[in-house]
Amino acid sequence: MIENLTPQQAWELLQQNTSAVLLDVRTQIEHAYVGHPIGAVHIPWKEAPSWELNPNFVADVKKLVPNTDAPILLFCRSGQRSLSAAKALETAGYKHPINIIDGFEGSLDPHNHRGNLGGWRFCGLPWQQS
């Protein structure tokens, strides 16, 4: 079963566990232009414009994190793609894939804007833009 953590809980785990990896599964454009947590590694789960699954996702993660016991904290824009990616890693034998609830930008607000209700940035956690 996939564990779900808030951005604050994910940040605390990253500070406490040096083997934990923060994995950004968004598109290259999202990672570069919207911003990303400092120290996050980028391996897209899907890529625009086709939004097809990245056929190399699990293989790329295995190169980055060969230790299947290491916690892998995954995030996307709002926590949906990252949950699917976490399930794929669990199927591939990873024992601690963790989904970050609300992702980087959080859910849509009543005005259809992100970043006002939750997510990594909203919580004031360290991030940068390329």
Please list, in sequence order, all residues whose beta carbon lies within 8 angstroms of the beta carbon of residue 113, skipping any fewer than 6 positions away: none
Beta bridge partners of 73: 22, 98
- 123 noted as active-site residue: no
Which of 61, 76, 85, 101 is the catalytic position?
Answer: 76
Other residues' Cβ atoms within 10 Å of the Cβ of residue 12: 12
Q: What DSSP string describes 50-88? A: TTEE-TTHHHHHHHH---TTS-EEEE-SSSSHHHHHHHH
| C-alpha closest to that of 2 among 94, 87, 101 | 87
Helical packing angle, 81-91 and 57-64, nearest 10°: 70
Q: Could you give the residue numbers annotated as active site? A: 76
